[in-house]
Amino acid sequence: MFRSFTDKMSNTNSANNLLVNALSERKEAGLLRSLTLVGHLTDFCSNDYLGLAKNRELSSQISAEFAAWESQQGRDVPINGSSGSRLISGNHAYTEDFEKACAQMHQAPAALLFSSGFEANLGLIASLAQKEHVIFCDKLLHASLIDGLRLAPAERRIFKHNDLADLVHLLDQYPQETLKWVVVESIYSMDGDVAPLEALVKLKESHNFELIVDEAHAGGAYGPEGAGLCVELGIQDSIFARVITFGKAWGNAGAVVLGSNELRSYLINFARPFIYSTSPTPHHVLSLHTSMNFVRKADSLRIALQDNIHYFKTLQKSADWGESNTAIQTFFVTGNEAVRTKAAQAQAAGFAVKPIVFPTVPKGKERIRITLTASTSSEAMQKLVETLESNA
Ligand SMILES: Cc1ncc(COP(=O)(O)O)c(C=O)c1O
């Protein structure tokens, strides 16, 4: 039976109306998201912690190394795209070479590359946590981990942020033999505070669980050669899986899951974002390899970042600043409207900062999230703090 053209049009109209209504509800609630260009403002909102996304020396190295690789390839080699998913036609020597070198840098037996941190987390959590398992997650986990949990059949328990007593209380409710996963971030993306990683590793001895650590905000910026906080603390062998993302301190995009060779094979078999997606392009993977070599040698940038964090903290006089000692700093302004107004003042003064509103953060915890990089200038930090702390 064919539907008339007018039927189809009215369906399309009502579908479109659904979207319009949902958007206007968001707008009325003051929660409408929209895209803006921040190009001309002084950066205080990117995750480019070492300034590598803008680094010309790195960009020249990436171009030169790609050109050298390309010139050695025969006519039948895909040079612009990978040509398929890894399990079909998209597995290439340059990708396996990168994964091996990346695993070695992070002192892990194996690494598996994903196109983004979101996909890595989604694929890892959704495929690992089975029906008969229990997965314990910190309340402030990133959306990519939460979405992985939503797809996983395991029972989910949420513990208070960084609160080990609460975690123990939940763990004690399950038999020793139940397989338990605990998921944390080494540095939390909204508050910039650090997970009690050493205490968690100690807790494993008495409470029998496996630990998964998302190192998105620590990779490249912390640890020897930028290998992350777990390596800095020497606990890498006690972590079941680590996720390092490349869109932040590495100044690129993508992510690896680090762990055993068995974990790598398991993800190749069961992680759907890995299996059913075109693998990253040769240019992407080769640029990651070049970036990795650059990151390993970037101690001076890691030191500059730490110096900037230290200096920024000395400028803070108001009680509205959060506790963080990392590149993610927070200035609390209660209420969605008030925090938006404060952010608009800072933007008008030339600073790229973003208000983080409810429901992204709990009510009453609205804040301006500020990120520092190795190249943030002292003058910009002084002026930003003045602007935020002024009552204008
Ligand atoms: C803690 C955390 N994990 C994962 C991701 C996702 O990584 P990607 O941007 O590479 O998809 C982010 C991104 O903001 C993050 O903050």
Q: Using DSSP bridges, classify how beta strands 241-245 and 210-214 pair: parallel, antiparallel or unpaired.
A: parallel
Tell me what pLDDT residue 240 has.
98
Q: Which residues are catalytic?
A: 47, 142, 185, 189, 214, 217, 248
CA distance 128 to 384: 44
Residues 82-136: pLDDT tens digits?
A: 999 999 999 999 999 999 999 999 999 999 999 999 999 999 999 999 999 999 9
All structural domains of the chain, each given as residue ranges with its CATH number in brackets, are 30-50+299-389 (3.90.1150.10), 76-296 (3.40.640.10)
Per DSSP bridges, beta strands 367-371 and 328-332 are antiparallel
Q: How far is the CA of 117 from the centre of ligand 1 (A)?
A: 5
pLDDT band at 362 (very low <50, low <70, confident <90, very high): confident
Mutate to test the pocket of ligand 1, among 138, 144, 274 (most ligand atoms within 8 A of CB): 144
Q: What's the pLDDT tens digit per position in 278-331?
A: 999 999 999 999 999 999 999 999 999 999 999 999 999 999 999 999 999 999
Answer for the pair 236, 230: CB distance below 8 angstroms, yes or no: yes
**What pLDDT, on a 0 to 100 scale, did the predictor assign at position 39?**
76
Residues in the chain: 392
Position in ligand 1 atom list of the atom nearest CA 246? 10
Q: What is the pLDDT of residues 55-76, one digit of tens each?
A: 999 999 999 999 999 999 999 9
Rounded to an integer, what distance in angstroms lies between the CA atom of residue 206 and that of residue 216?
28
From the CA of 185, give the closest atom in ligand 1. Answer: 1
Question: If you measure from the C-alpha of residue 268 to the centroid of ligand 1, how many angstroms do you get, rounded to a whole number?
Answer: 21
Q: Which residues pair with 212 in a beta bridge?
A: 183, 241
**Atom in ligand 1 nearest the alpha carbon of residue 188:** 1
- What residues flank ligand 1, with Cβ below 6 Å? 116-118, 121, 142, 144, 185, 189, 214, 216, 245, 247, 255
Which residues have a Cβ under 8 Å from the Cβ of 342 and sit 6 or more positions away? 331, 333, 355, 368, 388
User: What is the chain's mean pLDDT, rounded?
Assistant: 95
* HSE-CB of 294 using CA atoms within 13 angstroms: 25
Contact 226, 295 (CB under 8 A): yes
Per-residue pLDDT, 233: 98
Average of pLDDT values for 181-205?
97
Nearest alpha-carbon partner for 279 in 78, 73, 113, 103: 113
Instruction: Please tell me the residue having the least CA distance from ligand 1 atom 14.
Output: 189
Q: Ligand 1 centre and the CA of 4: distance in Å?
A: 46
Nearest-atom number in ligand 1 for the CA of 187 is 1
The answer to whether residue 201 scores a pLDDT higher than 80 is yes
CA of 245 to the centre of ligand 1 (A): 7
Q: What percent of the chain has pLDDT over 90?
A: 91
Contact (CB, 8 A) for 325 and 309: yes
List, in order, residues 6 or more apart from 112 with CB less than 8 Å away.
99, 256, 257, 264, 267, 268, 271, 274
Backbone angles phi, psi at 19, to 5 degrees: -65, -45
Atom of ligand 1 nearest to the CA of 254: 10
Q: How far is the CA of 342 from the centre of ligand 1 (A)?
A: 26
Chain centroid to Cα 390, Å, comes to 32
| Integer Cα distance of 31 and 358 in angstroms | 8
φ and ψ of 381, to 5 deg = -65, -45
Nearest to 375 by CA among 325, 315, 302, 314: 302
What's the CA gap between 279 and 271, in Å, rounded? Answer: 13
Rounded distance from Cα 288 to ligand 1 centre (Å): 17
Q: Which residue, by CA, sits nearest to atom 3 of ligand 1? A: 216
Ligand 1, atom 8, residue with closest C-alpha = 117
The reported pLDDT for the residue numbered 7 is 67
